[in-house]
Amino acid sequence: MINNAYSGLRVIDISQGIAGPCCGQMLKQMGADIIKIEPIDGDWSRRMGIGADGLSALAIAYNRGKRSLALNLKSPDGIRIMHGLVKDADVFIQNFRPKAATTFGTRYELLLAHNPRLIYASVSGYGTEGPLAECPVTDSIAQAVSGLANYNAGPDGRPRPIKPYIADIAAGIYTSNAIAAALYARERSGEGCQINISLLAVLAAFQNGMLIEHGWNKALDSTDRSYTPKSAATVPQGVFDSADGFVMLASLNDSMFTAICDVLGLHALLSDSRLCSAAERLKYADQINEQIAGVLRQKRSAEWSALFEGHNVLFSAINDLSDFIVDPKSVMQGLLSEMVLTVAEPGGSAISAILPIAQLPGASGAPTSLTAPYIGEHTEEIMTEFGYSGSEIERFVQAGVIGRRVR
């Protein structure tokens, strides 16, 4: 049966959010055993949007049937436990940026030393190497940079991100597909490999046909769809006007909101006791967005990009395809390749096309549970499987190395 194709396959999924967990979910749907390693307070997606008891809609959607091990990777013991699990794993999924991956002991080179047959899949925003590797990226920012939000503009010309989380979900699909190819290659070579998939590359691939058409016509149509900014899960999040175009700005947490207000000079928002948490800020979304919009209109997109740089803030100008082709973020990743088409005219014309986004080394170009696990629901079960005694488990719990669900 196809849904048991990965029966016996052990996957360590240390990713959080949507893209990485979506990949693990697809492998789970094909029968793999997915051990979800998450912080003791849980994957941050458990706190996004509507939910209760540590289970949000997003957490359920992309973690059904997985087993949760709550593990503190800020502790040496936590890292050692994780490395022990890796020794017996087939696949490892992660989405930390490079510095965090080093801190938490999840870099490919380190895990390869523990398990040379490991398939290591990394999902990122702009790739894992180069000056953009540490930039924060979410679905909406990837849509802004790639031009997809602009292509989806409404009749008023205002860009609109496509929902639901198309970049994240597509990245999960592409990554699971690349893992399948890597597992097939391992059967012949006996060796594991590293897979890198970025949200930007995925959205570039999504627009390959439109990019080719753009090269011919230099014009794109927009569809007529309604845009509902009040559906945002955080504030601010959405499209704003700058002095010369549209920009995307989003905040995931208190530190990002603080940085945004500091850069924009909106210090009164930070001193307002009504806005002390993300949940409270949602109640005043219109007022906050109005003040932010008023400031953003005062400077050009490039000026704001320079001011936000280095502040770990989710910000991007919203590109069209012409912008995307020359944007340093796409150029640095080497996403585009010139190819000559001879259909339009005998001499041919060079236009851009998207390269394969999941390139393995040497390449040229069981039924799922209806719900997700609670935080640490399977901690004791997994630790016991890997040879830890009851007294050791209890010691780790008391030391804050592992967490378990209290029933």
What is the predicted pLDDT for the residue at 361? 58
Q: Please classify residue 276 by burial: count the beta carbons closer than 10 Å to its beta carbon, then call 0-12 exposed, 13-18 middle and 19+ buried.
A: exposed
Query: Looking at 116-130, 334-348, 381-395, which range is the least confident one?
Result: 334-348
Which pLDDT does position 339 carry in this prediction? Answer: 44
| 187-203: pLDDT as tens digits | 999 999 999 999 999 99
pLDDT at 334: 74
User: Are the beta carbons of 167 and 343 closer than 8 angstroms?
Assistant: no
| Mean per-residue pLDDT, 268-280 | 90
Q: Are 34 and 85 in contact (CB under 8 A)?
A: no
pLDDT computed for residue 407 by the predictor: 52
Q: Which pLDDT does position 217 carry in this prediction?
A: 64
* CB crowding 168-206: b at 16 or more within 10 Å, else e: bbbbbbbbbebbbbbbebbeeeeebbbbbbbbbbbbbbb
Give the strand pairing for 193-198 and 119-124.
Answer: parallel
pLDDT of 61 > 50? The answer is: yes
Name the residue type at position 306. A
Q: What is the mean pLDDT of residues 259-288?
A: 92
Sign of CA pseudo-dihedral 246, 165, 120, 68: positive
pLDDT band at 355 (very low <50, low <70, confident <90, very high): low
Look at residue 114 and tell me whether its pLDDT is greater than 80: yes
- Of 336 and 324, the one with more pLDDT: 324
Tokens read off for 159: 């860009």
Q: Rounded mean pLDDT of 31-54?
A: 88
Give tens-digit pLDDT for 199-226: 999 999 988 887 777 776 654 444 433 3
* pLDDT band for position 362 (cuts 50, 70, 90): low
| Confidence at residue 3, expressed as pLDDT on a 0 to 100 scale | 62
Confidence label for 23 from pLDDT (cuts 50, 70 and 90): very high
Q: What is the pLDDT of residues 122-150, one digit of tens each?
A: 999 999 998 899 999 999 999 999 998 98
pLDDT, average across residues 81-108: 97
> In this structure, which long-range contacts are made by residues 267-270, counting pairs with CB atoms below 8 Å and at least 24 apart in sequence?
none
Residue 218: per-residue pLDDT: 57
- How confident is residue 1, by pLDDT bands cut at 50, 70 and 90? very low
Could you tell me which residue, 9 or 208, shows the higher pLDDT? 9
Query: Distance of CA 159 to CAs 16, 63, 103, 199, 234, Å?
Result: 28, 31, 38, 19, 19
Contact criterion met (CB below 8 Å) for 355 and 344: no
Give me the percent of the chain exceeding a pLDDT of 90. 64
CA dist 176 and 28 (Å) reads 10
Give the per-residue SS3 of the chain: CHHHCCCCCEEEECCCCCHHHHHHHHHHHCCCEEEEEECCCCCHHHHCCCEECCEEHHHHHHHCCCEEEEECCCCHHHHHHHHHHHCCCCEEEECCCHHHHHHCCCCHHHHHHHCCCCEEEEEECCCCCCCCCCCCCCHHHHHHHHCHHHHCCCCCCCCCCCCCCHHHHHHHHHHHHHHHHHHHHHHHHCCCEEEEEEHHHHHHHHCHHHHHHHHHHCCCCCCCCCCCHHHCCCCCEEEEECCCCEEEEECCCHHHHHHHHHHHCCHHHHHCHHHCCHHHHHHCHHHHHHHHHHHHCCCCHHHHHHHHCCCCCEEEECCCHHHHHHCHHHHHHCCEEEEEECCCCCCCEEEEEECCCCCCCCCCCCCCCCCCCCCCCCHHHHHHHCCCCHHHHHHHHHCCCEECCCC
For the chain, the distance separating the N- and C-terminal CA atoms, rounded to the nearest angstrom, is 35
CB-CB contact of 121 with 179 (8 Å): yes
Burial classification of residue 264, based on how many CB atoms lie within 10 Å of its CB (0-12 exposed, 13-18 middle, 19 or more buried) = buried
User: Does residue 370 have a pLDDT over 60?
Assistant: no
Averaged confidence pLDDT in the chain: 86
Taking 70 as the threshold, does the pLDDT of residue 392 lie above it?
Answer: yes
Residue 264 structure tokens: 């924009």
* pLDDT value at residue 346: 42
The domains found in the chain, sorted by start residue, are 2-152+164-202+360-403 (3.40.50.10540), 223-354 (3.30.1540.10)
Task: Count the residues in the chain.
Answer: 407
pTM of the model: 0.78
User: Band of the pLDDT at 259, cuts 50, 70, 90?
Assistant: very high
Percent of the chain surpassing pLDDT 70? 85
Q: What is the pLDDT of residue 151?
A: 80
Instruction: Give the model's confidence band at 367: pLDDT under 50 very low, under 70 low, under 90 confident, else very high.
Output: very low
- Tokens at 147, concatenated: 């031009």
